[in-house]
Structure 1
Amino acid sequence: MAPSFSGASTGAPTGPPTSMPAAVPRPAPRGWTQGPTPDTVAEHLRSLELMITRRLDGVLHGNHQGLTPGHGSEPGESRQYQPGDDVRRIDWNVTARTNETFVREQIADRDLLAWLVVDVSATMNFGTEANDKAQTAMAAAATVGFLTARAQNRLGAVLVAGPRIHVMQPRAGKNQVRAILTSLASPPPAERLGRADLAGALDRVGAIATRRGFVAVVSDFAGDDWIEPLGRTGIRHEILAIPISDPRELDVPPIGLVELVDPATGRSREIRVTARVQRRYAEVAAEERERRLAGLRRSHAEVIELSTADDWLGSIVQHVQRKRVQAVRGGVMPR
């Protein structure tokens, strides 16, 4: 959630305070990172990969551990039923037309096509803990990416920095994950260029990914223009939404006079944060969070809420473990 200036009539802010001055000059235009990975970024990515891999190896076992467990998620060709086939996979449409029993083959999850949609816009540069939202988003993307790579899935990415959208075509292997993370580590400047075009990124995935697959969306999900595109994407694909937040976006202490700056638009406002304003701020922030979660639920997305103050890797691993238990107990693909 970025600072907004259309808040309640009480004058309460609807976003986090930041120390960024209002008169920051606009940086020179720069595109997405190209060429070899800088040494400092490469070292950071190696450390991140090592940390994630050690944690995953400690809690996840097996040769094909992806994010969507089960026998398969992509319908394949139909064939005649043979003794021993799972009756839950009977293709009733073909059976009715032919008067013979047919079952629907399924493509294994390790052949799943996965996409990452990651928001690294200006509003993601806010943080009051050890990491900011952009760093937490990159860590979440790395976890999803390396989980995908373990199962030999192909992984593509659509990266969003304000109005700029960058598409990376799907490829298999850890080198693809590292390439995506390198682009995430050095996105083009997005300050004062407007809100993230998350809706456009989701529509881009829908246009490119014609085969049913898996889409993970990592963003702070500011605004509501992403709800309909996410719903359209969810019709064909399994959706995992990872909203990123910071504690100060939900509550701000009564610290007196502060200046709030919207990094997406550059608009600023001074406000005196009193106990009354603090209460109203928390109410508006809670309402915004509920609207965001309601929009995600309408899109039938699985949701993992991450905070800059929490154990992001533990939250993702717990989600994966929980879905695997549900798949084993239920005997069906979890939605």
Structure 2
Amino acid sequence: MTGPPLSMPLAPDEAARAEAVLAKLQLLVTRKLDGLLQGDYAGLLPGPGSEAGESREYRPGDDVRRMDWPVTARTTLPHVRRTVADRELETWLAVDLSASLDFGTAKWLKRDLVVAAATAMAHLTVRGGNRIGAVVGTGSGVPQKEGTRGWWRRKAEAKAEPPPAAPVLRLPARPGRKEAQALLRAIAGTRIRPGRTDLGALIDMLNRPPRRRGVAVVISDFLSPVEGWARPVKKLAVRHDVLAIEVVDPRELELPDVGVLTLADPESGMLHEVQTSDDGLRRRYAEAAGEQRAAIARALRAAGASHLRLRTDTDWLLDMVRFVAAQRHARTRGTTR
């Protein structure tokens, strides 16, 4: 049994909540981001475009990957090649809606931040004929039962009956605000299923079929094993400007001291009782969480992707505005990150 398809309508109360959250997010984004990218722009994200332009002398901080070697050899002075804005560019979103995203202990659920990030990217990019599309992945519909049996038995079961592939909703890239609104409604209305999205496979879908250079945005909590998605992100960054938006809840970073706490794994359905009064346990949890987030940041940096972290307990829109402003500042200095 694989559960309901992604296209199945949500329950009336769930659909009403999704629509209300989306309307609130769109209002917030419009108020804060309107005018932020007015005027000439280079590329979809504030940063360099993809079309070759004139050369200029190299300045400290310039991206060495844009060195203009013929001009450098001719003038004996290092030069970099400027880039100019594309006028009809394409943005693709890889949206991870695993069961772990249906969680939140602060102002927002993590899935609300996923929709918020998609809304902000649509607002920033859909203008001047630019197109935006998305691939949305959620769990397989079958809870993972790690830890409930011996490893040898789980291995035998995996050989006998492989788990069903996680469903993916592909939303074609189209220009126009009306089409962008429809895309956001489809993302907000996606039914989250048990299990974990294969994030690497989801990101690989942005490489097929091959597309002209544009922007690829990966929105996830990146809780899947790093080795499963690091290579696809690196491959994607060879051709596209990649932005990784990491969604985090504070309880994933540290545990509060609230006594015995019963925790449910949203991906496997397993229950765990944790004695949060144990100082050693809380310390080990925080250290492990810190190491995990550091590994995620290292993998994204090594892949050449820009990295934006949004938290459910902070002003995510202010974080995004600061990120965009930093990108604009980097562009004026001739850098890419």
Task: Place the TM-score, normalised by the shorter chain, in its bin.
Answer: 0.7 to 0.9
Are residue 234 (structure 1) and residue 211 (structure 2) matched?
no
Checking the alignment, whether the CA contact within 8 Å between 1:52 and 1:313 is kept in structure 2 is yes
Change (3 A) 1:296 1:90: closer
| 1:312-331 CA distance string (max 9 Å, x none) | 11111111111112211x2x
Q: Which moved more, 1:208-217 or 1:239-248?
A: 208-217
CA distance in 2 between counterparts of 1:151 and 1:123 reads: 36
Checking the alignment, whether the CA contact within 8 Å between 1:33 and 1:186 is kept in structure 2 is no
Q: How far off is 1:106 after superposition?
A: 6.2
Aligned twin of 1:15: none
CA distance in 1 between counterparts of 2:316 and 2:106 reads: 13
CA distance in 2 between counterparts of 1:309 and 1:277 reads: 23
Query: Secondary structure of 1:131's match?
Result: coil
Aligned twin of 1:278: 282
Are residue 311 (structure 1) and residue 286 (structure 2) matched?
no
Change (3 A) 1:51 1:34: same
CA distance in 1 between counterparts of 2:191 and 2:24 reads: 23
Checking the alignment, whether the CA contact within 8 Å between 1:74 and 1:213 is kept in structure 2 is no
1:180-195 pair list within 5 angstroms: 180-191=183-194, 194-195=195-196
Are residue 264 (structure 1) and residue 241 (structure 2) matched?
no
1:141-156 pair list within 5 angstroms: 141-156=118-133
Change (3 A) 1:302 1:33: farther
Are residue 296 (structure 1) and residue 271 (structure 2) matched?
no
Change (3 A) 1:298 1:123: same
| 1:152-192 CA distance string (max 9 Å, x none) | 3211101111222111111112122212211221212312x
CA distance in 2 between counterparts of 1:43 and 1:129 reads: 18
Query: Secondary structure of 1:177's match?
Result: helix
> Structure 1 residue aligned with 2:175, among 172, 175, 189?
172
Change (3 A) 1:326 1:209: same
Identity of aligned residues (%): 37
Are residue 214 (structure 1) and residue 215 (structure 2) matched?
yes
CA distance in 1 between counterparts of 2:256 and 2:67 reads: 59
> Aligned partner of 2:297: which letter?
L
C-alpha RMSD of matched pairs (Å): 3.2
| 1:47-96 CA distance string (max 9 Å, x none) | 322221111125443265864335631459xxxxxxxx546799868xx9
Q: Which moved more, 1:209-218 or 1:284-293?
A: 209-218
Change (3 A) 1:70 1:246: closer
> Aligned partner of 2:31: which letter?
R
TM-score between both structures, scaled by the size of structure 2: 0.76
Change (3 A) 1:212 1:33: farther
Q: Which moved more, 1:225-234 or 1:172-181?
A: 172-181
> Aligned partner of 1:270: which letter?
E
> Aligned partner of 1:124: which letter?
L
Q: How far off is 1:142 after superposition?
A: 0.4
Which blocks of at least 5 consecutive residues in structure 2 are unaligned?
58-65, 74-80, 140-165
Change (3 A) 1:220 1:70: closer
Aligned twin of 1:12: none
Change (3 A) 1:91 1:130: closer
CA distance in 1 between counterparts of 2:18 and 2:264 reads: 29
Query: Secondary structure of 2:208's match?
Result: helix
Change (3 A) 1:49 1:262: same
Checking the alignment, whether the CA contact within 8 Å between 1:66 and 1:147 is kept in structure 2 is no
Are residue 69 (structure 1) and residue 70 (structure 2) matched?
no
| 1:189-247 CA distance string (max 9 Å, x none) | 312xx211111111111113421111111100012211111111111111111100001
Q: Which moved more, 1:58-67 or 1:127-136?
A: 58-67
Change (3 A) 1:52 1:314: same
Q: How far off is 1:275 after superposition?
A: 1.7
TM-score between both structures, scaled by the size of structure 1: 0.77
Query: Secondary structure of 2:117's match?
Result: helix
Query: Secondary structure of 2:206's match?
Result: helix
Aligned twin of 2:257: 254
Query: Secondary structure of 1:208's match?
Result: coil
Checking the alignment, whether the CA contact within 8 Å between 2:92 and 2:215 is kept in structure 1 is yes
Change (3 A) 1:250 1:139: same
Are residue 55 (structure 1) and residue 56 (structure 2) matched?
no
Change (3 A) 1:108 1:59: closer
CA distance in 2 between counterparts of 1:173 and 1:142 reads: 14
Checking the alignment, whether the CA contact within 8 Å between 1:64 and 1:151 is kept in structure 2 is no
CA distance in 1 between counterparts of 2:247 and 2:114 reads: 7
Are residue 129 (structure 1) and residue 132 (structure 2) matched?
no
Query: Secondary structure of 1:310's match?
Result: coil
Checking the alignment, whether the CA contact within 8 Å between 1:133 and 1:246 is kept in structure 2 is yes
CA distance in 2 between counterparts of 1:256 and 1:39 reads: 36
Checking the alignment, whether the CA contact within 8 Å between 2:42 and 2:86 is kept in structure 1 is no
CA distance in 2 between counterparts of 1:33 and 1:75 reads: 45
